[in-house]
Amino acid sequence: MDELDIFKEQWKKEEQHLPHLKFEEIYKMILKRSSSAVKWIFIISILELVFGLAVTAFWHPSFEQDLEIPPVAEWISWAVFPLGIYFIYRFFSNYRLINTTSSVNELLTNIMKARRTVRLWIIINLVIAGVGAMIMMLSALIDQKGGWDAFTAEASLTDYFIIFGLSAGLTLFIVTVTLAIYFLLYGLLMRRLNRNYKELKKMEL
């Protein structure tokens, strides 16, 4: 049983004597926990962007002379960074809003905003990872066949199924790994925000 649960139990036992005091204590505890969760989301997003920048600084597919990168894939790989900066700003804004919250209704609204921002960030990254991986896999496999013109000149229907099947399978694997990483990074924090939201709804009633 954590500190918040202890406060809740005490509140239930003593609410006839000091209900207002206990309400304020529990509210402050939920506010503190919510602020901490959103702060860590903000920190993780910064570390994620810094890691991406570091990897790109030392290696990017476009640096490889023997590897032909489709323009769309290269554009996607670079577009991720301004997108990341935008979401870091969104995470920081959510953190600041929760820190300055002064009522249950405001805290409920700000927790919902924070949860929606994290979900949107994860969905966008999964889409980018999926589209980018699919393009790269198709490009790499077709290059091994001598390029698109050579492939289409001799390929049978089975060859098309094999190429697209392998690309789809590898893409699914990459998306699954990406989802697992985000679940580890953000899942616990999202569950904490969800729990805080449910507790606040009970207090509101």
6 lies in some domain: no
Is residue 65 situated within a structural domain? Answer: yes
pLDDT band at 18 (very low <50, low <70, confident <90, very high): very low
DSSP state of 63: G
What is the H or E stretch that residue 35 is in? Answer: helix 19-58
Residue 11 counted as domain residue? no
Residues 122 and 183: beta-carbon distance below 8 Å:
no
Q: What pLDDT does 56 receive?
A: 67
- C-alpha 145/C-alpha 164 separation (Å) is 14
Spatial CB neighbours of 87, under 8 Å, sequence gap ≥ 6: 45, 117, 121
Which of 53-57, 86-90, 133-137, 176-180 bottoms out in mean pLDDT, i.e. has the lowest?
A: 53-57
Q: How many domains does the chain have?
A: 1
Residue 132 belongs to a domain: yes
Q: What residue numbers bound the domain in which 169 lies?
A: 18-204
Q: List, for residues 122-139, the tens digit of each pLDDT value.
A: 898 888 888 888 887 787
CA torsion sign for 68, 71, 75, 77 is negative
* pLDDT of res. 204: 63
Average pLDDT over residues 187-196: 87
| Structure confidence at residue 90 (pLDDT) | 92
Q: Please provide the average confidence, as pLDDT, over all residues in the chain.
A: 79
Closest CA to 120 of 76, 90, 75, 79: 90
Nearest partner of 110 among 99, 119, 121, 120, judged by Cα: 99
In this structure, what DSSP letter does residue 14 have?
H
- Only one residue has tokens 């870091």, namely 88
- Are the C-beta atoms of 18 and 26 separated by less than 8 Å? no
Angle at 31 between CA 13 and CA 44, to 5 degrees: 135
- What confidence category does residue 2 fall into, taking pLDDT thresholds of 50, 70 and 90? low
